[in-house]
Amino acid sequence: MGLLDGKKGVIFGVANDRSIAWAIARKLRGEGADLAFTYLGDAMEKRVRPLAESLGSEIILPCDVTIDAEMDAVFEVLGEEWGGLDILVHSLAFANKEELKGDFANTSREGFALAMDVSAFSLVALSQRARPLMQGREDGASIMAMTYYGAEKVVKNYNVMGVAKAALEASVTYLAEDLGKENIRVNSISPGPIKTLAAMGISDFKAMLDEVSGRAPLRRNATQDDVAGTAVYLASSLSSGVTGENIYVDCGYNILGIS
């Protein structure tokens, strides 16, 4: 008996076995959910397919969220195979590397638009398509997105990604209002820094991890598994009355002032 027996979920954002989305997928599966996965381009398929198959998944599809036709195709297959959907996990972000250093004031028009498209608008685009499949589910349905503290406070070098995450967090609240009447919940999770592919090549990432683990109330960094626990809660009926929320999984770092 799992918390998610018989539930159907789709996971956007597995790149490898360190991805936050992968830890979420494993825990959702552990509670009995059936999962579909998407990957970005052919290069990712050879990593994602074996991971997905190890959880017994049969629906494994390409999806670049900047391409409408790829998103359409994913939900067409989900409709045909499952006829409905209970859980959507959005764990995607991208900005050009050059935008993640130096002054935010130097952000280019193209860099701003790309970060907003991949990291924020994609939640709206995916929710639009999930909505008809999520109507009339027994315990309602759940959409969740990964955000970061840099949406709210200035984090050095996070730059245009902070602005995109602010748009993502605001989108969560507006989507929660629209989809709430159909018993679809929409929430975000805000993890502390975690060493994943998306953290590779970020200058001074190690120093950020050390600052957080030194100061956070729990005196450690958050892990993918910490995030996955909160994702199970948001996916399950344990969170039946919770929508439009942002839940920090950061070992308490966000509550601090001067220490």
| Active-site annotation holder among 39, 149, 158, 248 | 158
User: What distance in Å separates the CA atoms of residue 36 and residue 103, rounded to the nearest whole number?
Assistant: 39
Compute the least distance from the CB of residue 100 to ligand 0WE, in Å: 5
CB of 85 or CB of 168, closer to ligand 0WE: 168
Segment near ligand NAD (CB under 6 A); pick from 18-26, 71-79, 101-109, 234-242: 18-26
Site for ligand 0WE, rule CB under 6 A: 93-95, 97, 100, 148, 155, 157-158, 161, 193, 198-199, 201-202
Catalytic, 233? Answer no
CB of 138 or CB of 204, closer to ligand 0WE: 204
* SS3 per-residue string spanning 158-185: CHHHHHHHHHHHHHHHHHHHHHHCCCEE
* Element housing 189 (H / E): strand 184-191
Compute the least distance from the CB of residue 136 to ligand NAD, in Å: 28
Site for ligand NAD in 73-132 (CB under 6 A): 91-94, 118
From the list 112, 138, 116, the residue with the least C-alpha distance to 125 is: 116
Compute the least distance from the CB of residue 84 to ligand NAD, in Å: 23
CB of 63 or CB of 87, closer to ligand NAD: 63
Instruction: Please report the DSSP string for 26-55 in residue order.
Output: HHHHHTT-EEEEEESHHHHHHHHHHHHHHT
The tokens of 123 are what?
């939640």
Catalytic, 253? Answer no
Per DSSP, 196 falls in state S
Give the CA distances from residue 107 to residues 111, 166, 167, 254, in Å, rounded to whole numbers and listed in that order. Answer: 6, 16, 16, 26
**Residue 15 contact, options ligand NAD, ligand 0WE, none, Cβ 5-8 Å cut-off depending on partner type:** ligand NAD
Compute the least distance from the CB of residue 28 to ligand 0WE, in Å: 21
CB of 137 or CB of 159, closer to ligand NAD: 159
The tokens of 128 are what?
């639009």
From the list 191, 172, 177, 168, the residue with the least C-alpha distance to 252 is: 191
Instruction: Examine residue 44 and tell whether it contacts ligand NAD (CB under 6 A).
Output: yes
Instruction: Examine residue 146 and tell whether it contacts ligand NAD (CB under 6 A).
Output: yes
List residues with catalytic annotation.
148, 158
